[in-house]
Structure 1
Amino acid sequence: MGSAAAGDTPAMVAAREGFLAAGHYAPVAAALADRAVPGFVVDVGGGTGHYLAAVLERTGGSGVVVEASTAALKRAARAHPRAAAVGADVWRGLPLADASADLVTTVFAPRAVAEVARVLRPGGRWVVVTPLPEHLEEVRGPLGMVGVEERKAERLHADLAGFEAVAEDELRVPRPLRREDLRALVLMGPSAHHVDPAELDRRLAGFPGEVPVTVGVRLTVVRRP
């Protein structure tokens, strides 16, 4: 998806880069950029820098991807001329000064709430993108993918209780995916740690050449008081 965990392999990151470059999550990137504000952007758990690049193109600002995966960082460093990439475990702290960010983005990534509050300037915004229950629902079960946790929205709102609410919207986009796209989709995220590639190929063989899949996300915008 949007970010790579510390255990992500180069193969997982390559699958993610190819899937995103094909434009399958382009509506998500565009919606994120629509909610961005100019200035210095911190993309927490930003993976290959795909989403940060979309934001910087829209706002004209600069930014940094904070990411644990070395394989993802190598790509993030080249994602945009005004983007940098820093290796760090977001749970152990963001290597940034207090009140240094105008905007923080978190796309399918861990929410280090206390650290985001620390690095975000007063009045700065945080845009959080999370999956809706129907996200990829057509293929999650048949392909053995990790599901969307129950009560995810409740936990999100509890995490953000210390911020001022600005807006919240839901985006649902039908996306036709071929078998090779579906394979990359499974192998680019946490499901890759649980699915045997040979078994995945066996399951994919039973799919038609193209499958309509729902891309469904919640975009939550808050402001630091």
Structure 2
Amino acid sequence: MLADILDLLADPNGEPLEFSEKGLHAHGRTYPIADAGYAIFLLEDTSEETSQGDDPAMLHAREAFLSRGHFAPFVEEVSAAVHDAIDEAGIPEEDTPVICEIGAGTGYYLAHNLDEVYGAIGIGIDISSAAAEHLASCHPRVGAVVADARQRLPLHDGVVDALTVIFSPHNAAECARVLAPTGQLIVLLPEPGHLKELRQPLGIRDVEPGGVAEFREQAAEAGLVFAAEPRTIEFSMRLDRESIKAQIGMSPSARDIPEDELAERAAQLPPAMTVSAKASLLRFRKS
């Protein structure tokens, strides 16, 4: 699938790339292609050891939790927003819409988005090579890339029609740069109160207040304005211990607390709990 998105990719200097069996090339530099089919664009000052990208255990937990449908309302709302963004872009029928997700993880959301938009191609970007391996096979129309979302994205200017950021690190200025003139940025950010029933008994970090306001400010500085009114998505989930374990295992808390200690705390929970989910859905376009 990388060959299908080659025209959209650029090196860190914004230069076009050439494809060969050995990798992607620009100005004498080669960006390797892993056996699993994803390209690696990490810069010299970035390493996975310091990037805090998801490791295989976290990705396994993420896939287990999402596949049980616990976050279905989030998935449905994001997919609907992407569908609306593509419709509103007025893309000619002969063109191919481009959907990109930053911090795409296992590709669960991205695959659902592509299923909602006939003929679209997807680009999954994540800093974790373990995640990129999942991304490369999550959907027949996805190309996977390892890159740091905090740095320049390995994409040309103005090539993405719908760009999603879901509970992931982001760079509003880069999001704005890669958006097509009629493209939209769809952002899902956790709100205080998200998973509140689990935080005290498990000792996991809370959602920092002000995250939505901070992103709105960053978006405005990047020349982005609202494409739709912000929405709060809030619902309850009935989680058993295995689902709770998977939820915590896919979060940054998996690094904060030793695995055996976290398991001991989880064992003290009831066999099943009602847990709150809460996030804000924001849609932006270029001003």
C-alpha deviation, 1:144, in angstroms:
1.8
The one-letter amino acid of 1:150's match is P
1:52 alignment partner, one of 101, 110, 131: 110
The one-letter amino acid of 1:97's match is H
Alignment of 1:36-185 (within 5 A): 36=82, 37-38=85-86, 39-60=97-118, 61-161=120-220, 162-167=223-228, 168-185=230-247
> Which stretch shifts more, 153-162 or 213-222?
153-162
Q: Displaced runs of 4+ in structure 1, greater than 4 A?
A: none
Q: Where does the alignment leave 5 or more consecutive residues of structure 2 unmatched?
A: 1-47, 87-96
SS at structure 1 position matched to 2:139: coil
SS at structure 2 position matched to 1:92: coil
Residue in structure 2 matched with residue 208 of structure 1 by the alignment: 270
- State how far apart, in whole Å, the 1-side matches of 2:247 and 2:123 are: 25
Q: TM (normalized to structure 2)?
A: 0.75
1:191 alignment partner, one of 253, 276, 284: 253
Q: TM (normalized to structure 1)?
A: 0.94
SS at structure 2 position matched to 1:153: helix
Matched, 1:35 2:96: no
Greater RCO (Cα-Cα under 8 Å, separation 6 or more): 1
- State how far apart, in whole Å, the 1-side matches of 2:138 and 2:204 are: 28
SS at structure 2 position matched to 1:43: strand
2:75 touches 2:109 (CA, 8 Å); kept in 1?
Answer: yes
Q: Where does the alignment leave 5 or more consecutive residues of structure 1 unmatched?
A: none
Equivalent pairs counted in the alignment come to 222
Give the root-mean-square deviation of aligned CA atoms: 1.4
- State how far apart, in whole Å, the 1-side matches of 2:210 and 2:234 are: 19
